[in-house]
Amino acid sequence: MQAPTGSIEPARIRTTPAPVAARGRYPNEERFVRDLYARLMRYDLAAREFHAIESGATIAPGSYLAITLRDLRTQAWTGSGNPGVSPDGADVLTIQRQALCNGDDPCHAYYDVFWTQASAARSAHQPPSTGDVSRYTRYTVTLTLAGVSRTYQAVILYHVASDGTATPEVIDPVIPDLDALAGDRAPLARAPWAAYTKTRHYAAVAQKARDWHANPSSRALSVPIGFIVGDDVSRDDEMTVAMTAGSCTAPEQIPTFFVVVGTPRYTQGPPAPYVYNINRQILDQNRQPINMSLLVKEIYSPAVPDGDCTNQPVQTSDNYSNDAGIFGPDLYSMPGTAPNPCTSTSVQRFTVRLNGADWGIQTRYKVTWQYSGVEVTCIEGCPPPG
């Protein structure tokens, strides 16, 4: 079981069976590579949202960690290899795990990710030339954080055990401490933390984490790429915990997502001057409506959109939803005095106040204003297809 301090168990994977590997296919190893970097991006996003909600600050555009992988190649280990290193003097990414714990419950976590000088952060880790390494995966990473991009090669070595599993050893020259995250699937920390720990959702996630660490043999053989414990919590799980524990008080529903209701439409224009209207509904963590009147606050990042349509901040307002959790219309407008043509963009996000706490909504929109009209596109926390 995970200790209250938030310790991380070593990563282990079931290696690709030899008959499949003999055909040059290594799905298990390459799936681990993609899963590892997907989890890093999720923990980074959780950190930025946590800090934004706790501080009330906006999240700077482009501040999220973005990673793409390509040219994944897995081969038998021959006892030699060079994963490559970053150029001397180049900055590296530091990742710092922050564990938030509530009593004896399994800890939740996020990772602060930021650039630091290589001399202060680079690990002295080197690949072994002999030992129990059976295979390795070499791949190309392209990552971007805070406007800085790097493309480089990294490698993962697989230390095989007699039971057909292997312990991955991550050697990423730009993220030298990434190996420490390899076995981490701690639930995502959410703000406001004190309020979150009093919810049924938190209690259900904590129970999922206990089961995950106490019963390794019962874990799903193939979880989704980027899976973090708690992703699969359902309303039934929340109700079960509530009936057995009796320690979790309201809110049973946490404001988590938005969905557009009705058909967005122009009430003036386009082109400029125009006014575009969208109505939305507040959904909980299970994408169910929250049928109550709640205060909704909108935030734009950046406040002054990038582009050439305006040099003024977007006008925002705080409004209450109706008793069905529907609010709006949210108005997107442009005056006729704007340059023609022009384009400006910003990311729109929201918080919803419930029981005295402001909950960050996972649904976000990219808003693109042009003289000819406006486009509002969901980019995170969007409704499932269909």
What are the DSSP calls for 152-213, one per residue?
EEEEEEEEE-TTSEEEEEEE-SSSTTGGGGTT--PPBP-SSHHHHTTSHHHHHHHHHHHHHH
Three-class secondary structure of residue 39 per DSSP: helix
Whether residue 333 is contained in a domain is answered as yes
Rounded Cα distance, 189 and 210, in Å: 16
Per-residue pLDDT band for 218 (boundaries 50, 70, 90) equals low
- The shares of helix, strand and coil residues in the chain, as percent rounded to the nearest 5, are 20, 35, 45
In terms of domains, do 177 and 261 share one? no
Domain finish residue from 146, 165, 187? 187
Whether residue 22 is contained in a domain is answered as yes
pLDDT value of position 2: 37
In terms of domains, do 177 and 263 share one? no
In terms of domains, do 267 and 142 share one? no
In terms of domains, do 161 and 308 share one? no
Residue 4 has pLDDT above 60, yes or no: no
**Section 293-320 average pLDDT:** 92
In terms of domains, do 162 and 267 share one? no
In terms of domains, do 170 and 265 share one? no
pLDDT value of position 91: 87
Whether residue 361 is contained in a domain is answered as yes
In terms of domains, do 265 and 168 share one? no
In terms of domains, do 262 and 182 share one? no
Whether residue 49 is contained in a domain is answered as yes
In terms of domains, do 60 and 168 share one? yes
CATH of residue 321's domain is 2.60.40.1930
In terms of domains, do 268 and 149 share one? no
Whether residue 118 is contained in a domain is answered as yes
Per the structure, the complete domain to which residue 131 belongs is given by 13-187
Rounded Cα distance, 183 and 98, in Å: 15
Whether residue 69 is contained in a domain is answered as yes
Rounded Cα distance, 253 and 181, in Å: 31
Residue 307 has pLDDT above 80, yes or no: yes
Rounded Cα distance, 179 and 75, in Å: 20
Per DSSP, 22 falls in state T
Polymer length in residues for the chain? 386
Q: CB atoms < 10 A from the CB of 367, how many?
A: 18
Per-residue pLDDT band for 87 (boundaries 50, 70, 90) equals very low
Whether residue 217 is contained in a domain is answered as no
Domain finish residue from 154, 172, 187? 187
Average pLDDT, the chain: 85
CA 55 to each of CA 189, 257, 285, 364: distance values in angstroms, whole numbers, following the listed order: 15, 21, 23, 19
pLDDT value of position 228: 94
In terms of domains, do 176 and 265 share one? no
In terms of domains, do 153 and 297 share one? no
Q: What is the pLDDT of residues 242-289, one digit of tens each?
A: 666 654 454 578 999 999 999 999 999 999 999 999 999 999 998 999
Whether the full predicted model's pTM is greater than 0.85, yes or no, is no
Rounded Cα distance, 315 and 99, in Å: 37
What are the residues whose beta carbons fall under 8 Å from the beta carbon of 29, sequence distance 6 or more? 13, 15, 16, 74, 135, 137, 156, 158, 168
pLDDT value of position 80: 60
What are the residues whose beta carbons fall under 8 Å from the beta carbon of 315, sequence distance 6 or more? none
Number of domains the chain contains? 2
Joined together, the tokens standing for residue 155 give 């490698």
Domain finish residue from 160, 187, 214? 187
Per cent of the chain over pLDDT 90 is 52
Three-class secondary structure of residue 51 per DSSP: helix
pLDDT value of position 94: 94
- Phi first, then psi: what are they for 28, rounded to 5°? -65, -45
Whether residue 96 is contained in a domain is answered as yes
